[in-house]
Structures are given as structure tokens and as C-alpha cells.
């Protein structure tokens, strides 16, 4: 039957099926390790660049033993994660990327060799006043020796007269295995002033070998009374090891943006460790504070009560995986598994009862090395 003139036929609308694009294939552009060889334990960063229709999931077998160690949902197109290879041999870490566009895998290879029995040793040279605080000094040394494993080559330092800024000292040849630190605890400017000075004075091959810590006895007495002296000493030994003092020393350029409002530490193992805490890009470094604080500590507003920020805040001051990883970037043999539990989540942080910063432990003069081999 024909429709009446001017009327629209009562036919159903034509439905055009949507055009569905095929998902982009999952691809791995690169998968690399920050070091291809070294002595065990060897801490490295595994870095990747991937693409494909998301969401993507990345699975990492960090030592190539056939087991998935890390799973990252919503995997970023570029990222990294740290790992420590503790056994000797050839390791073949694997990344597996999966998404709507399928699965891709890639392997990289790292070789680790035996380190021998030479553990890393920190030898203390006690000067004025240090003997009264030996137990706290020993505890601070033990904290670092627990995470730094392999020793450095024995070295004979030819120290000139007045070395480490101590007037009246004669020149001498000093055998060092692996790091020697002189500690002096004596009157300075009284309680609440400058805590003292710390850093390394001499290095070989870019690695600190001799350093000094000079502290005001009045401030040390207060720190002991409040139960914070071990952490303060541990913090200052960290500077002698090179944290904040050797970042751009010995051919390194690990500190970027120094003197700006956003300095960062770019060492690949520390950056990968920072990613495990939810961070992105390079590790935030302090831009505020007094002399010796900016450009030499982790950022207080981000890391809060971590040991190597510029302030002694919180009831517990963890030695985080970022700090341990930064030592690997400096050239030390470390085991990341020795780091303390740590989170940057506000609910996991202790900023003080009133949310205020505590004592600025970094109110010290950081030495510039007297030699630059």
C-alpha cells in the first residue's frame, strides 16, 4: 500500500554498527639495567619503555628465575624499579607487558661476580670528647655497615699537614680500609646554635676515604638526653659517605637544579626506589633551610621523618630504600633489603605532635673535599 502524499513511510531506522578500532599491539621499546656487571650484592635499576592500547600491566621477574617479583597495573610508558642481585652468576631479568593489544616480553642480562670476604668497614678515629659517646658512635656505624657490603680497595692516603682543617697536624701516610672518620665532640657555640661540621676530606677514585665530624658538646648532650643522638650521628656519617656531599663529585652529576626551588637527585637506582614509594621523576631534594641543608638532603615536605632529611622529626627516623639506593648510585655495594620500612603516605608519617618541624640536624657546615682525585 502506498503512503499518503506528504507522509513519511513508517519504516524502521537503519542502524549503522560502530566502527571498532583494533587495539594497538603491546610493545616493549627498551628494557635495560643500570649496570651490566658488578660484584654481588649488586643493586640496580631495571628501566623500560613500553607502548600499546591500555591499560597495560607490567610484570617483572627481576632475577630471571621464572617467578614474577613485581606486578604494576596501569603500567607507565616509561618507568623503573630497583632490585638487588645477591647471588653470583648470570641473571636474565624479564619484563612481560600485557594489554588489549596482546602480550610482549623482553630480557636483559646482568653478570655478578663473587666479592670475597672483605666487608665494608668504617673506622672511627676518636678525638676530643668522642670517647664519652662511644656506644652511640658504634650504633651509628653499625647501621651503615649493615647495608653497605663490599669493601673498597685498601688505600694509603698521603695526608698533608693540617689535614681535615685541623691546625698543627703533621703530614702523614695513612692506610685506610675502607673509610676512616675522625670524630670530635667539644665546646663550640653553645646549645641551640650550630651543631657542627661534617663531610669527607679525602677521596680516591671518587669514593670518600677519610672524613671528619665535629659536633658541639652542648648540642650532643641534648640529643643524647632526648634519645636522638644515634640518629644524629648516623645522619652525619651519611654525609661523610657522600650523601649530599659527593653527588656532584668525582665525575658525578647526580644533583640537578641546585640553587633552584626544585633540586632533584637523578641517580637511576634511587629514582627507581623513589618510584616504589609512589614518586615520579627524580628524587626531591631540599631547597630550604640554613647553611648545609639545601641541596644536600631529601626534601622535608616529602620525606618528613626519613633519616637523611634536614630535620630530626618524628619519633622514628627510618633509613629508607631511597637513601640506600642512593649509595648504590655513588658506587657502593648495597643490599636494598636492608632498608627500613618507610612510606611517604601522610597517614604513615610522624611530623611531630603539633605538625611542626623538629631540630634542624643539618645545621652543620658540609665540607668541601680538600683533594679532588
- Average pLDDT, rounded, for the chain: 89
Give the DSSP H/E element, type plus range, for residue 323. helix 321-330
Give the DSSP H/E element, type plus range, for residue 137. helix 134-145
DSSP code per residue over 14-81: PPPPPPPPPPPPPEEEEEEES-SEEESSEEEEEEEEEESSSS-EEEEETTSSSS--EEEET--SEEEE
- Pairwise CA distance, residues 237 & 141, whole Å: 8
- Kindly give the confidence (pLDDT) of every residue in the chain, 373 residues in length, as a single tens digit, with 9 standing for 90 and above: 445 555 555 666 667 667 667 899 999 999 999 999 999 999 999 999 999 999 999 999 999 999 999 999 999 999 999 999 999 999 999 999 999 999 999 999 999 999 888 999 999 999 999 999 999 999 999 999 999 999 999 989 998 888 887 778 899 999 999 999 999 999 988 887 778 888 999 999 999 999 999 999 999 999 999 999 999 999 999 999 999 999 999 999 999 999 999 999 999 999 999 999 999 999 999 999 877 889 999 999 999 999 999 988 888 999 999 999 999 999 999 999 999 999 987 533 333 322 334 455 545 555 656 554 3
157 and 104 in a common domain: no
278 and 238 in a common domain: yes
Please state the pTM of the whole predicted model.
0.89
131-184, pLDDT tens digit by residue? 999 999 999 999 999 999 999 999 899 988 888 877 788 999 999 999 999 999
108-117, pLDDT tens digit by residue? 999 999 988 8
Among candidate residues 49, 83, 113, the one where a domain is terminated: 113
Residue 351 has what pLDDT? 30
Among candidate residues 74, 92, 113, the one where a domain is terminated: 113
CATH number for the domain harbouring residue 241: 3.90.132.10
286 and 241 in a common domain: yes
Q: Which domain holds residue 249?
A: 122-366
Residue 273 has phi, psi (to 5 degrees) of -65, -40
- Total of domains in the chain: 2
CATH number for the domain harbouring residue 95: 2.60.40.10
Return all residues near 5 (Cβ < 8 A) that are at least 6 apart. Answer: none
298 and 166 in a common domain: yes
Peptide bond into 57 cis (omega under 30): no
Among candidate residues 51, 79, 113, the one where a domain is terminated: 113
303-333, pLDDT tens digit by residue? 999 999 998 888 899 999 999 999 999 999 9
132 and 83 in a common domain: no
37 and 161 in a common domain: no
Q: Which residue(s) pair with 79 in the sheet?
A: 48
Amino acid at each position: 500500500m502506498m503512503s499518503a502524499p506528504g507522509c513519511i513511510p513508517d519504516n524502521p531506522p537503519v542502524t549503522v554498527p560502530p566502527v571498532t578500532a583494533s587495539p594497538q599491539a603491546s610493545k616493549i621499546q627498551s628494557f635495560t639495567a643500570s649496570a651490566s656487571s658488578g660484584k654481588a650484592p649488586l643493586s640496580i635499576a631495571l628501566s623500560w619503555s613500553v607502548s600499546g592500547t591500555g591499560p597495560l600491566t607490567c610484570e617483572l621477574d627481576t632475577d630471571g628465575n621464572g617467578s614474577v617479583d613485581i606486578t604494576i597495573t596501569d603500567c607507565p610508558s616509561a618507568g623503573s624499579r630497583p632490585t638487588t642481585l645477591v647471588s653470583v652468576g648470570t641473571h636474565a631479568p624479564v619484563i612481560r607487558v600485557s594489554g588489549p593489544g596482546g602480550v610482549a616480553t623482553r630480557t636483559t642480562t646482568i653478570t655478578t661476580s663473587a666479592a670475597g670476604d672483605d666487608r665494608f668497614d668504617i673506622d672511627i678515629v676518636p678525638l676530643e670528647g668522642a670517647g664519652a659517646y662511644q656506644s652511640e658512635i658504634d650504633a651509628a656505624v653499625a647501621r651503615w655497615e649493615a647495608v653497605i657490603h663490599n669493601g673498597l680497595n685498601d688505600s694509603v692516603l698521603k695526608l698533608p699537614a693540617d689535614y681535615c682543617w685541623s691546625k698543627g697536624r703533621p703530614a702523614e701516610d695513612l692506610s685506610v680500609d675502607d673509610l676512616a672518620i675522625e670524630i670530635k665532640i667539644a665546646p663550640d657555640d653553645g646549645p641551640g646554635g650550630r651543631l657542627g661540621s661534617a663531610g669527607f676530606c679525602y677521596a680516591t677514585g671518587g669514593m670518600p676515604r677519610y672524613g671528619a665530624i665535629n659536633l658541639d658538646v652542648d648540642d650532643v648532650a641534648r640529643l643524647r638526653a632526648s634519645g636522638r643522638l644515634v640518629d644524629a650521628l648516623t645522619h652525619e656519617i651519611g654525609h661523610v659517605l657522600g650523601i649530599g656531599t659527593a653527588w656532584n663529585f668525582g665525575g658525578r652529576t647526580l644533583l640537578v637544579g641546585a640553587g633552584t626551588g626544585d633540586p632533584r637527585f637523578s641517580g637511576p637506582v634511587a629514582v627507581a626506589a623513589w618510584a616504589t614509594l609512589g614518586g615520579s621523576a627524580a628524587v626531591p631534594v631540599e631547597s630550604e633551610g640554613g647553611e648545609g641543608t639545601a641541596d644536600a638532603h631529601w626534601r622535608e615536605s616529602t620525606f618528613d621523618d626519613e633519616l637523611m632529611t634536614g630535620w630530626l622529626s618524628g619519633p622514628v627516623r627510618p633509613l629508607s630504600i631511597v637513601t640506600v639506593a642512593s649509595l648504590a648510585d655513588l658506587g657502593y655495594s648495597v643490599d636494598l633489603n636492608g632498608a627500613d620500612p618507610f612510606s611517604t603516605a601522610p597517614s604513615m608519617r610522624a611530623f611531630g605532635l603539633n605538625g611542626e618541624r623538629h631540630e634542624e640536624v643539618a645545621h652543620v657546615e658540609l665540607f668541601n673535599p680538600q683533594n679532588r682525585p
